[in-house]
Amino acid sequence: MTKMHIKLTVNGKAEELLAEPRELLIHVLRERLNLTGAHIGCETSHCGACTVEMNGKSVKSCTVFAAQANGAEITTIEGLGSPDALHVLQRSFREHHGLQCGFCTPGMITRAHRLLQENPAPTEDEVRFGMAGNLCRCTGYQNIVKSILAAASEINAAQEAAE
Amino acid sequence: MNDLSPSREERIANLKGLGCSRKRVEDVRFTQGKGNYVDDIKLPGMLQGDFVRSPYAHARVISVNKEAALALPGVIAVLTAEDLAPLNLHWMPTLAGDKQMVLADGKVLFQGQEVAFVVAEDRYIAADAVELVEVEYEELPVLTDPFAALESDVVLREDLEGQSAGAHGPRRHHNHIFLWEEGDKAATEQVLDSADVVAEEMIYYHRTHPCPLETCGAVASMDKVNGKLTLWGTFQAPHVVRTVASLLSGIEEHNIRVVSPDIGGGFGNKVGVYPGYVCSIVASIVTGRPVKWVEDRMENLMATAFARDYWMKGRIAATKEGKITGLWCHVTADHGAFDACADPTKFPAGFFHICTGSYDIPVAYVGVDGVYTNKAPGGVAYRCSFRVTEAAYFIERMVEVLAIELGMDAAELRRINFIRADQFPYHSALGWEYDSGDYHTAWDKALAAVDYAGLRREQAGRVEAFKRGETRKLLGIGLTHFTEIVGAGPVKNCDILGMGMFDSCEIRIHPTGSAIARLGTISQGQGHATTFAQILASEIGLPADSITIEEGDTDTAPYGLGTYGSRSTPVAGAAAAMVGRKIRAKAQMIAAWLLEVHEGDLDWDVDRFVVKGAPERFKTMKDIAYAAYNQAIPGLEPGLEAVSYYDPPNMTYPFGAYICVMEIDVDTGEHEIRQFYALDDCGTRINPMVIEGQVHGGLTEALAIAMGQEIAYDDIGNCKTATLMDFFIPTAWETPNYTTDFTETPSPHHPIGAKGVGESPNVGGVPAFSNAVHDAFRAFGLRHAHMPHDHWRIWKIANQLGLHG
């Protein structure tokens, strides 16, 4: 199968690769770029374990072709924080027990990150609605919602203090 | 002179031991996307396996033509039953004493059954090759109904023809697997015949699926140079997998290393051995390269172990005052095409005979008929200890039906029948010894917390308002008091494939006072790395933060039976406590030598041994650990390590009181959960934060099961629910907030009194949600309606009761 030349920026780093037209973004991220944070849970866009950011939007990378990501800016969980400087959401999920098996967590946090860009001070209902594309089998969501609301408060408080 | 600061309280806090809501150590990795799940494993030269699966539920396989697939560049092999037969691996034993085809041997028995295994350079080529394998089928009549299967001339399991007995006794029909009975049938029937009141009902606990977010998978790597096979996979019981792999393959057990890496949820789905594991191993041996197989979601839902599917016919007898006098139950259990239930060997219906529940019932009988049908095999304990969910649902529905029959309040009916606190240890009519409990206290606390009397008044007012045409919403109050049986189990009667169901913990204390401990269990999200360290911290006086916990690598961890059936805390948690006590016993000898006193002159105090009457003279565990490695102590070996294998004397019996308050829209069938109160008693509480998280998660799985989740088939055996579009998993939007609460009745036989909690919310949650639906319609004559209670089915209840005018 003829391969396509694809350039994309992942977590701030320029990447170039040849991919089949049918190759999925999640496979490029996980198998070519060794970014295994985003997971595959259903391959039909339902579970959200594969959620990454593409050009400022949350996408389910199991149903995005690599070719569609040509020229795109991608952020994955690996790009959100570093071991020495965790993202507020990463800290908050731990603080509020917003995860158990960890399989949905990278998608959850990546989606929550975008949600808080879209709506920096969401209500509980808005968090629940905004996160409805990401399934979790372990937590029952209560502590995920708590983690996100707490992170939003912390970010907003920090911004107010800075202003 | 030793410094007496920090204070005792500060030293206790510093340990982060029992009772502390310690933050989870696992989360540091998981929140950064640095978990290591099976599909994250990438080895040099690794191939990808994929299955050709049957589109038919029952058919003869006339031929399998691999030519076109093998001709595709990048395809390395296509395995069929014919290829596995010379190795005797075309069939494999199941955990339930039956056998199962690894690849279709002459016929297929359920839709999605594995027919051929394609091995290719990558997943895309493998998927292409699957399409190129040509299989010719001849359709056979399909049996999806277990009652019809027991009457039919159609023989599903031709391989068993002429075998009038199976692993669990006589088979009375060619589609019959076993009849398993417990209790006194004659005495129970006598009580039923002469009772004031008998309530009778058929209660179906529908087929569903654990559906962990991570599907099942494995990576097999046969190293032909040193003869070692390494198998990574989604295994809830890695040590048993090693033993089974050795017995099946003939590779000596020391040459097999099984590793469970991080597991993305299990819920019972990852207990069994699946054809994908076997085929990956064979493919690695054949090709000499590592082979990965990871099923997709459709494969997981269609073919990998289902749960439940119990038709439970019940009869419950009582006096006219409501005292229960007897319970009778017959189950028709649909096991699918092979009996692959994951139960302790001697219990073909698991611990279903806990079905007398929380009640003091003098006489009872239960019989379970296992039946073959053209559905996927399984029958695993989905967030459940071996059919305990079915049992709890059965009794909690039967009590509600009896309350209707008696015209009594269901909370009061429960109260007058509870086993009293002074009756423990309590011997149930079906043979269990309940270790401890205080049901009345829990029940009263729960009813008070929700203002039960006030809710009933509101409900009565709502019914009147509905009748006057002022509202179209009804109010349901769903009650449950469940008793679980977990922590399998005593080796004398619990084993899996002959392996006793003990568990283990091994610990090494390092010279500087930190430690590594390994256990025979494996976390799938339960947070073992956090909580087992807490048990050890309290026992050995070293901070939990200084104790690394490892599980899941059979080359390093001691043998154990794994994590399922809420057994990790009751069994491996007990082993952790016991191994800590061994360490402390040696530490005491070292401290005595260092302090130049007799061992008996020392007291243990949080993290140190103190000379009696001389509090300034002590040695901390940190001091002792160092001494163990740098002092020549007469009569003592150097070092400080120990191992403990714990064989529990009994199961543990967690219980709880759950109340669900639900609004139901009569015209749309939609529901809204207004309040859910969950009181759990899991004995000693190790980490309240983790317990609460487990309860939230288990309740949400219960919500799914009760309100919409099912594995459904059409008449010709097509699985209608094989994607997450059709198989209901609640999102954050549908899921309510829960209120958690507790009482604490320690287990008298467990070293720290802990009972296990992970499955309680699923066991108790399903009847609480379901009873709320039923209760909403009780005033209009509803007695029983089968789950799942999705909007359509609730609408139908309302319609059949004539509520749509």
pLDDT one-digit tens code per residue, B334-392: 999 999 998 999 999 999 999 999 999 999 999 999 999 999 999 999 999 999 999 99
Query: Which one is predicted more confidently, B464 or B249?
Result: B464
Q: Which residues of B have a catalytic role annotated?
A: 236, 383-384, 759
Size of interface A-B (CB pairs under 8 A): 179
- The alpha-carbon gap from B293 to the nearest alpha carbon of chain A, in Å, equals 14
Q: How do strand B217-223 and strand B291-294 relate by DSSP bridges? A: antiparallel
Residue of A nearest to B294 (CA): A40
Residue B223's domain comprises 38-140+215-263+270-303
Quick count: other Cβ atoms within 10 Å of Cβ B206?
Answer: 18
Per CB-CB distance under 8 Å, the chain B contacts of A91 are 31
B283: exposed, middle or buried (Cβ count in 10 Å: 0-12, 13-18, 19+)? buried
Q: For chain A, list the domains and their CATH numbers.
A: 4-79 (3.10.20.30), 88-158 (1.10.150.120)
* Among B19, B4, B8, B23, residue whose Cα is nearest residue B607: B8
A139 and B697: CB-CB below 8 Å? yes
Among residues B615, B646, B677, the one where a domain terminates is B646
B594 plus B666 within the same structural domain: no
B659 plus B725 within the same structural domain: yes
B641 plus B664 within the same structural domain: no
Residue B312 belongs to some domain of the structure? yes
Alpha-carbon gap, residue B90 to B62, rounded angstroms: 17
The pLDDT mean for chain B works out to: 97
Alpha-carbon gap, residue B455 to A112, rounded angstroms: 37
pLDDT at position B497, please?
87
Among residues B646, B672, B700, the one where a domain terminates is B646
Nearest to A141 among B27, B296, B732 (CB): B732
Residue B189 belongs to some domain of the structure? no
Q: How many residues does chain B have?
A: 805
B31 plus B42 within the same structural domain: no
B341 plus B447 within the same structural domain: yes
A130: exposed, middle or buried (Cβ count in 10 Å: 0-12, 13-18, 19+)? buried
Per CB-CB distance under 8 Å, the chain B contacts of A89 are 31
The angle formed by the CA atoms of residues A7, A8 and A14, to the nearest 5 degrees, is: 95
Residue B552 belongs to some domain of the structure? yes
A142 and B124: CB-CB below 8 Å? no
Per CB-CB distance under 8 Å, the chain B contacts of A39 are 37, 39, 213-214, 264
Per residue in B707-743, pLDDT (tens digit) is 999 999 999 999 999 999 999 999 999 999 999 999 9
Residue B112 belongs to some domain of the structure? yes
pLDDT at position B342, please?
87
Alpha-carbon gap, residue B393 to B71, rounded angstroms: 54
Q: Is B114 left (phi over 0), alpha (psi -120 to 50) or beta?
A: beta
Residue B154 belongs to some domain of the structure? no
Alpha-carbon gap, residue B250 to B243, rounded angstroms: 10
Alpha-carbon gap, residue B316 to B337, rounded angstroms: 32
Share of chain A above pLDDT 90, in %: 98
Per residue in A100-149, pLDDT (tens digit) is 999 999 999 999 999 999 999 999 999 999 999 999 999 999 999 999 99
Q: For residue B632, what are the β-bridge partners?
A: none
- The alpha-carbon gap from A75 to the nearest alpha carbon of chain B, in Å, equals 12
Helices B621-630, B574-595: axis angle to 10 degrees equals: 70
B16 plus B75 within the same structural domain: no
Provide mean pLDDT across the span B114-121: 98
- The alpha-carbon gap from A113 to the nearest alpha carbon of chain B, in Å, equals 13
One-letter amino acid at B7 equals S
Residues 6+ apart with CB under 8 A from B147: B311, B332
Residue B482 belongs to some domain of the structure? yes
pLDDT at position B193, please?
98
Quick check: bond before A122 cis, omega within 30?
no
Among residues B629, B646, B663, the one where a domain terminates is B646
One-letter amino acid at A38 equals A
pLDDT band for position B3 (cuts 50, 70, 90)? low
Residue of A nearest to B722 (CA): A42
Nearest to B525 among A36, A46, A101 (CB): A101
B319 plus B416 within the same structural domain: yes
pLDDT band for position B803 (cuts 50, 70, 90)? very high
B735 and A142: CB-CB below 8 Å? yes
Provide mean pLDDT across the span B503-508: 98
A143 and B693: CB-CB below 8 Å? yes
B259 plus B123 within the same structural domain: yes
pLDDT over threshold 50, residue B1: no
Residue B155 belongs to some domain of the structure? no
Residue of A nearest to B301 (CA): A42
| Three-state secondary structure string covering B95-122 | CCCCEEECCCCCEECCCCCEEEEEEECC
ipTM of predicted assembly, 2 dp: 0.98
pLDDT band for position B2 (cuts 50, 70, 90)? low
Alpha-carbon gap, residue B2 to B617, rounded angstroms: 7
CA distances to B46, B48, B50, B127, B222 from B288, in Å:
10, 13, 17, 21, 6
Alpha-carbon gap, residue B638 to B145, rounded angstroms: 65
B570 plus B632 within the same structural domain: yes
B606 plus B690 within the same structural domain: no
Residue B82 belongs to some domain of the structure? yes
CA neighbours within 13 Å on the CB side: how many for A72?
Answer: 20
Provide mean pLDDT across the span A77-90: 96
Domain count, chain B: 3
pLDDT at position B4, please?
65
pLDDT at position B692, please?
98
B280 plus B397 within the same structural domain: no
The three-class DSSP label of residue A131 is coil
pLDDT band for position A62 (cuts 50, 70, 90)? very high
Per CB-CB distance under 8 Å, the chain A contacts of B525 are 100-103, 138
CATH number of the structural domain spanning residue B723: 3.30.365.10
B665 plus B760 within the same structural domain: yes
In the block, residue with structure tokens 């009061």: B412
